[in-house]
Structure 1
Amino acid sequence: MTASDTLFDQDGVRLSVDDAVATVTLTNPAKRNAQSPALWRALTEAGRRLPGTVRIVVLQGEGKSFSAGLDRQAFTPEGFDGEPSFLDLARGGDEALDAEIAAYQEAFTWWRRADVVSIAAVQGHAIGAGFQLALACDLRVCAEDAQFAMRETSLGLVPDLTGTHPLVSLVGYARALEICATGRFVHAAEAERIGLANVVVPLAELPAATADLTAALLAAPRDAVVETKALLRGALGRTYEEQRVAERAAQARRLRDLAGLGE
């Protein structure tokens, strides 16, 4: 595989791979990378095509905005070409509606899989589905012009693309409720202060800052990062004593591997 091979380019999503680093790019800047069911299927497919050699996945959007959220055409009677409109879906049965939303969610789930670390490089607007896509990643590097907003409630909806769990984990219940229920903008400086953003840099420095974080993550052995990620992801669901046990088991695996005794 040569540098920056393009493995997938369809429906506003491009997947390219350079050795251990994959880059997923939203490629519809004319519409501020607005999202649709076709784009969600493309994101899911990008995850399926990710080579096993990849350790870091960078998610970025072309143009001035990371993603301005759901394309409002979804709420028109005609919807998208070849797609049922959201209004038609609402008129269907409960099982069909649940299955359709579950399929949409697949585009947002694979970013946290155990064997990779995902980084969202966010500039401009990250609204609604765009906010949730940034939250789907493990880490967020933001330009100073980044603006997050969860606008679903203003449309009479709820955030349903897997964003509520990471948001509460990052900022706590009370602040998450306030952000979601008001739909207000969270600018980059506040995002860094409350834990939404890991790094905030001038817009021109966003690619370099993302590359620096990628290089730092690649410096550690892959298995150690994988074990550490699993420990941290599971910590909130365990008691203190359970976490101690999990730490011991993980360290035993690492020590045996380093000693050449691993399976």
Structure 2
Amino acid sequence: MALLDKDGVRLTVDDTVATVTLTNPAKRNAQSPALWRALTEAGRSLPGTVRVVVLRGEGQSFSAGLDRQAFTPEGFEGEPSFLDLARGSEELLDSTIAEYQEAFTWWRRNDIISVAAVQGHAIGAGFQLALACDLRVVADDVQFAMRETGLGLVPDLGGTQPLTSTVGYARALEICATGRFVHAEEAERIGLANLVVPAGELDAAVQDLTTALLAPPRDAVTETKALLRGAVSRPYEDQRVAERAAQARRLRDLAGLSD
């Protein structure tokens, strides 16, 4: 069932699994403010039954990043150009970037697990969109790159935190500052990819992972995801407290004593 199909984004839902597809392969799924708003809307449209969200791109590339039209004086029709935004107030510029970031934030909600199926190019905003997801299954032709610094910019769509927490500060800095490509073998070795498969097997591998993710009880997965996300910032003793509280909730639920 399709719940959304607009501005280069299609959302379909099949009971517990939602699929968000980037649908502009002619432009290698280049991104725009309209696409970002559609992604935000997709997150808000998820039914409560959904447990796994798969993100994919049509065609040979996952997403080649921001559409360069954003940097032209005319920008996109009906949108302020990035140059016009830069000339505006600091408050407007900050609120506009915050709106763009919303498209990249909802993928790590504790009640869902998001899986990016990545093939071909995942550049800049495309790389950050893949990083927004909990897990990444990639084709052996994948090419990740963070090209913002080469344009005189920074990665500002939520990608710096998951990149650094995944590969470490030094490697994240090197990847971002050089803008070089990270290919499949390295992506798997440094943790950017959970699994690398031949391009023709990408959909089947994602389906197998989705089936495995749906096997345990939902509440147990939700509690575990929340614990693991919090573990990054909590001191060890605080994490032990969080574990006890989560386990107490699970035991009460299994005993039929939950509210």
Query: TM-score category by the smaller chain?
Result: over 0.9
The 2-side partners of 1:15 and 1:238 are apart by 35
- Give the drift of 1:148: 0.3
Residue 29 of structure 2: aligned partner = 33
1:7-39 Cα deviation digits (max 9, x unpaired): 100000000001100000000000000000000
Q: Is residue 2:126 matched to residue 1:130? A: yes
1:131-153 Cα deviation digits (max 9, x unpaired): 00000000000000011000000
- Give the drift of 1:236: 1.2
The 2-side partners of 1:240 and 1:234 are apart by 11
Residue 189 of structure 1: aligned partner = 185
> Which of 93, 96, 100 is the aligned partner of 2:92?
96
The 2-side partners of 1:124 and 1:189 are apart by 14
> Which of 195, 219, 236 is the aligned partner of 1:199?
195
TM-score (norm. length: structure 1): 0.98
> Which of 247, 250, 254 is the aligned partner of 1:254?
250
Structure 2 residue matching 1:25: 3-state secondary structure: strand
> Which of 62, 65, 82 is the aligned partner of 2:61?
65
Aligned partner of 2:242: which letter? A
Residue 151 of structure 1: aligned partner = 147
The 2-side partners of 1:238 and 1:43 are apart by 30
The 2-side partners of 1:22 and 1:72 are apart by 30
TM-score (norm. length: structure 2): 1.00
Residue 81 of structure 1: aligned partner = 77
Q: Is residue 2:205 matched to residue 1:217? A: no
The 2-side partners of 1:102 and 1:236 are apart by 23
- Give the drift of 1:167: 0.3
Residue 55 of structure 1: aligned partner = 51
Q: How does 1:159-170 map to 2 (within 5 A)?
A: 159-170=155-166
Aligned partner of 1:203: which letter? A
Structure 1 residue matching 2:251: 3-state secondary structure: helix
Structure 1 residue matching 2:61: 3-state secondary structure: coil
Residue 178 of structure 1: aligned partner = 174
- Give the drift of 1:114: 1.0
Aligned partner of 1:194: which letter? I
Aligned partner of 2:149: which letter? T
Residue 241 of structure 1: aligned partner = 237
RMSD over aligned CA atoms reads: 0.3
Residue 20 of structure 2: aligned partner = 24
Structure 1 residue matching 2:105: 3-state secondary structure: helix
Structure 1's unaligned 5+ residue stretches are none
Structure 2 residue matching 1:22: 3-state secondary structure: strand
Identity value in percent: 83
Aligned partner of 1:95: which letter? E
1:146-178 Cα deviation digits (max 9, x unpaired): 110000000000000000000001000000000
